Amino acid sequence: MSPDPTASVPIDAAASVPIHTVGFVGLGNMGQPMAHCLVAAGVKVQGFDVSAAARDDLANAGGTAVDNAADAARGADAVILMLPDSNVVEAVADSAEFLEALIPGATVIDMSSSEPERTRALAKRLAGFGIGLVDAPVSGGVAKAVTGQLAIMVGGRDEDVERVTPVLARMGRIFRAGPVGAGHAVKALNNLMSATHLLVTSEAMIAGERFGIAPEAMLAIVNASSGRSGSTENKWPNFVLPETYNSGFALRLMLKDMRIAAGLAASLGSPSVLGDRAVALWADAAEALPPTADHTEIARWLRDTAATTAQESS
């Protein structure tokens, strides 16, 4: 049974070595509220981000802001990495300064959306220093990060997962995916599914609008029917219809995760015909939209593209 994030869980419960201090590297849109949840739960958090404003925010919330990733790791029983990709994760975790700062027996928790095979390789390298690695990417967006209700997909050795479970439970509901790398694999595959849902949902919504169906009416019907998804229940009503496009998750980050999933499928000889086509369409959108575009802007891009095509054919 997954831990209840609302329950009172002592930070050293079920841990062979208690975790009293957590380092946190990456205080962005997701990392910041996640770190706040730990601070609110009474965990000592020492955090770093390249943004001075993010460091100040952590300090104002009751955490300790430090000047670099090594200082975040120094004296910490566990270190959470919430970074853009495997390149950045490895740049931090493989650095001599970071490794020297880790205490013997510490656990690194990679909550980023990293590449599964690279996660496995990193786990082997860290094991050579006596450091455990747990991959624990999340789903739920900024709103769930704020409330501590994220879905946390966990991969790792049983003893490492057991040790960090009380920490992870402060940020959401834990789902055991399997060995090291399994969490990152599930996260990428989940986002490929989510992105494909959003793409086809947007195509269907645009077609409905052109036929004269009010989008609110169509969403109400679909959400009571078999076509419902996170896109119809959350993304379209909350970010697309109001035209705010501010879910907090960038389009290019979604595309990165989709490519990880498609690459994983290819390496395993698993079919990914629809997935590959979805990746190609999202890549077209990324090329056309600003670098900072939210992933929900795929709907606006589709509408604009359809309008342009209609004008050219008339």
Q: Which residues are catalytic?
A: 187
* Burial tier of 230 (Cβ tally within 10 Å: 0-12, 13-18, 19+): middle
Q: What are the Cα distances from residue 185, in Å, to 75, 144, 174, 216?
A: 30, 21, 15, 35
DSSP H helices, the chain, are 31-40, 52-61, 69-73, 86-93, 96-101, 116-127, 141-147, 158-168, 182-211, 215-222, 230, 251-267, 273-288, 298-313
d(C-alpha 169, C-alpha 159), whole Å: 16
Residues comprising the chain, all counted = 314
Q: Are 109 and 78 in contact (CB under 8 A)?
A: yes
Distance of CA 252 to the CA centre of its chain: 13
List CB contacts of 236: < 8 A, sequence separation 6 or more: 201, 202, 205, 215, 219, 299
165 residue type, one letter? T
List CB contacts of 53: < 8 A, sequence separation 6 or more: none
Rg (alpha carbons) of the chain, rounded to whole number: 21
143-149's contacts with Cβ under 8 Å and 24+ in sequence apart are 144/172, 145/30, 145/33, 145/34, 145/37, 145/171, 146/33, 146/36, 148/5, 148/6, 148/37, 148/172, 149/5, 149/173
- The DSSP symbol for 201 reads H
The kind and range of the H/E element at 173 are strand 172-178
